[in-house]
Amino acid sequence: MNDLINNRMDSYRERLNCLDKPEHVAVWSNRPPLKFTEKAGAVRTAMAELVDMAGRQSAPTTGNAAEKRKEEAELEDAAHRIGRAVVSFCSDRGDAVTAEKYDITLSGWRRLRDEALIGKARQLEADATALLGISESEDYGLTAAAVAALASETDDYQALVATPRRAISERHVLTASLNPKSREVAALFDQLDDLALQFAGTPEGDAFVTAWQAAGRVIRRGQGPLAEPPAPANAN
């Protein structure tokens, strides 16, 4: 989220805080012009949506690296364990082709990354499933429970690998939507600006209008209010 959106959101919050002061609520809430109360509700809803979008847009997309390493190691261990059982069983049955596919050391499994690891684990899951029920396969550790455990570890790791990608994709969508949503909120505040003038004419109303207009200034963080553009130089 860029500084301009941050600054505008700070201004929007300041204006809502201004509305919520008890002495101001007494001036405008359900008082003519009633459209002010209606539009104050609309701007709160739009602002809540903007805050939610900004929060999701700013959320980290890298995922939890420690959790990913943990799940990766658990998958590698499970795949190595089932893989060695497949190698042993298939070697004894004379199925050298299948045995060779999974004749991988634990360090070999650890060298596989992300999609390559997931793909190899899924392939092992399918081949091990095909061996279930064959005579003596359980004696090698090839059981439905063992294959299900491998599938579960693969699912867990795949979810962690996919999450950052989904988050990055969502961030692109949210980034494109932030400015239009901010403009929507700003337009609602502009409408409140016009209606707020109707409350002038009493000491309380004048105080509210003055405070409301002051709260609308967009502040640059650390630099004060945004300066008005300089007047054009006199051509004469």
Least confidently predicted of 1-10, 101-110, 222-231? 222-231
- Tens of pLDDT, residues 123-147: 999 999 999 989 999 999 999 999 9
- Provide, rounded to the nearest whole percent, the portion of the chain with pLDDT above 90: 65
Residue 189, H or E segment: helix 144-196
Residue 110, H or E segment: helix 106-111
- Separation CA 87–CA 81 (nearest Å): 10
> Residue 22, by phi and psi: left (phi above 0), alpha (psi -120 to 50) or beta?
alpha
Q: What is the pLDDT of residue 62?
A: 55
Q: What is the residue whose two structure tokens read 């300041």?
A: 14
Identify any residues that bridge with 35 across adjacent strands, giving them in sequence order. none
User: Distance between the two ends of the chain, CA-based, in angstroms?
Assistant: 44
Mean pLDDT, rounded, of the chain:
85
Q: Is the pLDDT of residue 80 over 60?
A: yes
- Separation CA 231–CA 211 (nearest Å): 27
Length of the chain: 236
Omega of the bond leading into 164 within 30 degrees of 0 (cis): no
Q: DSSP states of 212-230 as a string? A: HHHHTPPEETTTEEPPPPP
- Tens of pLDDT, residues 143-177: 999 999 999 999 999 988 866 555 555 666 556 66
- Provide, rounded to the nearest whole percent, the portion of the chain with pLDDT above 70: 80
Q: What is the pLDDT of residue 195?
A: 96
State the pTM of this model.
0.49
**Under 8 Å between Cβ of 164 and 68:** no
Residue 135: phi and psi, rounded to 5, are -50, 130
> pLDDT-derived band of residue 182, with 50, 70 and 90 as boundaries?
confident
Q: Is the pLDDT of residue 90 over 60?
A: yes
- Separation CA 174–CA 181 (nearest Å): 10
Residue 68: phi and psi, rounded to 5, are -65, -45
Nearest of 49, 44, 45, 53 to residue 17 by alpha carbon:
44
Q: What is the pLDDT of residue 98?
A: 96
> pLDDT-derived band of residue 216, with 50, 70 and 90 as boundaries?
confident
